[in-house]
A and B are shown apart, each in its own frame.
Chain A
Amino acid sequence: MRNIWTIAKRELHLLFIGPIAYITLIVFLLTLGIFFYIELNYAIQSQSYIPSMGTTFQLIAFPLLFLAVPAITMRSIAEEKRTGTLEFLLTAPVRDWELVIGKWLGGFLFFVIALSVTFVYPLILNILVDPGIDMGAVLVGYLGLLLIASCMVAIGIAISALVPNQIAALFATLGVIIIFWILSSPAQYMQGLWSEILLNMSLTNHLYDTFLAGVIDLKDVLYYISFTVFALFIGKTAVEIRRWG
């Protein structure tokens, strides 16, 4: 158990040594800041529009998390394979699943930090909007974002374990996320069972109409958690297979 935390700490530390984390954070927060500013000004100009976290949340989900997650996770296991340091990790008394979960936790915590910083926006809105905004809905929104982030980070880690280098990991992760992202679209043109299956597998289906609308539904929570666990399981298997030569 301790190993998970040791690895997670190091992942986080390593992220902040290189440029990737800083660039990602700056772009992330700068983009949000710009749009938040626009939102506020638009609200000031138009008399009827009430600013909310809606746009901000949607922006965080897409394109920000969507692009940032692969960038952050691509390095995690692929780089260790490339430099050979994976051999060093696999001969330490660390279980394979501890390694995978530790890497995932490091990436996930990065996004917890990033999202925490954005919490300044609802606080600002709460002051500016009269009589205040629905903080409960805001928290639910953040929960949804954290869940989808956890899921995407898990996908990123699994793919990083499967492919030989960072660039392949970047594109493959993007690819997988894109596919799961858009699954709900073709679903609307299908009928019956297929439509249901695709709809429920889609990443976005469980976020926009639910969490971002302030609604917690247990099935959505379970969806993200099981997806995360499944992806991490694939990652662990990929690491195991490495051992067999």
Chain B
Amino acid sequence: MIKVTKLTKDYGARRAIDNLTFRAQRGEIIGFLGPNGAGKTTTMRILSGYMPPTSGKAEIGGFDVVDQSLEVRKIVGYLPETVPLYNDMTVFEFLKYKADLHHIPDAEDRVDEVLEMIDLIDRSEGYIAALSKGMRQRVGIAQALLHKPEVLILDEPTIGLDPAQIIEVRNLIKRIGKERTIMLSTHILSEAQQVCDRVLIINKGHIVAEDTPQHLQSRLTGSQRVELKLRKNAEDAIPLIKKVKGVTSVTAHDDDSIEFEMSANQDARPSVAKAVVQGGFELLEMKQNALSLEDIFLELTRDDTPAPALKDRD
């Protein structure tokens, strides 16, 4: 559904995105994860038909975003990061305007339908200037949905929303995502984890990782980490733990806990527990830390280091 090949965009001397290549199938929800300035918004603007790339190709639904921009815009619903709305229009007027621009028949009914979907039907006669941030966000999503687009491109759709609203929006996205292709950008990692089928991590204009959230986790951790809590004198236990077969490294943390890494094919936990207890230490807690997407993200987007090599899946 979305085909991007060697997409590059330069703003004068600055290269914002560099030879991006990726695909999204129909019905997939893909997440674009990256720090600010990574190139997420630029990519989305190109895909939504707003601006052309400097080089490379992008196709949505088989239409080229440059040569068939109008066709692309007909099947794409786009929510810009800034959620630009006309403050001096009412919610209804604004959505009707957008519906008219899309030549939607029975526009008024459709607007009411969408207003129901985002639960703003009772604010439809109110001015947009009077809406809260969360409501503005919902209106922004609504205008992207009006023409029942096959592809939704949402730039940071949950930013600024309160936790309850975030859940609502995510559920909405998941519901819509069943029949449509959605591409969203975020820097809320748990969101990418929960909502997306696949995640693309982008940094400085390059894609540094691309996979399902689960696979990304297992790919990056060649080893697994376990956290230990001992009653006292935690550091003294370190040499003991190091000796256990399968333990690759041990570190002490400020909160009196010890973290050790063990290789993936050997569960050293029982041996460590035995060694610690037999050594006279009181074991309070042993917990396995899965490498969170946040760790992966930080690891991959650390400033000057080039992207670390990811181990291929076996």
Contacts and interface: CB of A to CB of B under 8 A. Distances in A.
A87 B82 contact: yes
A92 B80 contact: no
Interface stretch (A2-10, A24-32, A145-153, A209-217): A2-10
B163 interface: no
B17 to A, nearest CB: 12
Interface string B58-98: 00000000000010011010101010111111000000011
Interface stretch (B43-51, B185-193, B252-260, B263-271): B43-51
With most chain B CB atoms within 10 A of its CB, the pick from A3, A85, A89 is A85
Nearest to A89: B101
A87 B50 contact: yes
Nearest to B76: A91
Contact of B102 (A86, A92, A243): A92
Given A90-B50, A91-B78, A84 B102 contact: no
B60 to A, nearest CB: 12
B161 to A, nearest CB: 19
Interface residues of B, number: 28
B50 A84 contact: no
A85 B86 contact: yes
Contacts of B102: 92-93
B193 to A, nearest CB: 28
B302 interface: no
B299 interface: no
A244 B84 contact: no
B15 interface: no
Contacts of B85: 85, 88
B101 A245 contact: no
B97 A91 contact: no
A14 B127 CA distance: 13
17 contacts: A6-B97, A6-B101, A10-B97, A14-B86, A14-B88, A17-B88, A86-B84, A87-B82, A88-B84, A91-B73, A92-B98, A92-B102, A93-B101, A95-B70, A243-B50, A243-B52, A244-B51
Query: Which 3 A/B pairs are nearest by Cβ-Cβ distance?
Result: A84-B84, A93-B73, A85-B84
